[in-house]
Amino acid sequence: MRDCLFLVADKNMEGMLKGFFSRDAFYRAVGCRHFDFDLRQDLLVAHGQNDPGLYTRANEFLQPYASTHRHAVVIVDAEWEGSPGRDAISQRLNKHLVNAGWLDDSGCAVVITPELENWVWQDSPHVCSALGFDGAFAALRIALEAKGFWQPNTAKPDRPKEGVEWALRQARKGRSSAIYQQLAACVTARRCTDHAFQRLRSALLQWFPPVK
């Protein structure tokens, strides 16, 4: 049996996970013990489905892997046209996991509010480098506040995706999964305060507790 399957909605999330799992001793960034991860066997992208598709039929993608993986994680954004909101999405995905064969908390639904780009934003020079911003992170934040993407005295921008897109336009860079992969390979995971990331971290700590 493989340790854990990760089912994601699109190539940007695929890039994020590829970057994270490319780190040496990636498990230490989470604080759990080592577990096996192989891009070809343990990362599944629901091409063409996007977030609403996984909300509707994640169990169809998951079922073939119930006999090959002890655990499963489904990761989607909370914000999309017709979205019922984070809690409803999480409940539906957890039902998909149970129906597909992962019982007793062996599966985990991770719903990022509002979207994946929320994981991008933290005070790090790596963020500026990946987005092509010529300056310190503090200057980038000031620019985003001036544009209305980030409110003062808040840990994360209100409009994380629009903030990323604006920064990339200033640098004349296109948005691609490679940017997310670059970021996830460099920025610290321990400083990420996002609710969805903490949900993922808690599940991994439960399944793969650190060796004492």
**Amino acid type, 193:** T
Looking at domain 2-116+188-207, which of 1.20.120, 3.30.460, 3.40.1360, 3.90.105 is its CATH number?
3.40.1360
Q: What is the pLDDT of residue 47?
A: 86
Assigned token pair, 56: 């509707």
CA–CA separation, 179 and 167 (whole Å)? 12
pLDDT string in tens for the chain (212-residue length): 999 999 999 999 999 999 999 988 899 989 999 999 999 999 999 988 889 999 999 999 999 999 999 999 999 999 999 999 999 999 999 999 999 999 989 999 999 999 999 998 988 899 999 999 998 999 999 999 999 999 999 989 999 999 999 999 999 998 899 999 998 998 877 667 789 999 999 999 999 999 87
Q: CATH 3.40.1360 in the chain, residues? A: 2-116+188-207
Q: What is the pLDDT of residue 98?
A: 97
Instruction: Using a cut of 0.85, tell me whether the model's pTM lies above it.
Output: yes
Query: Cβ distance 78 to 40 under 8 Å?
Result: no
CA–CA separation, 118 and 159 (whole Å)? 8
Q: What is the pLDDT of residue 188?
A: 75
Query: Cβ distance 208 to 2 under 8 Å?
Result: no
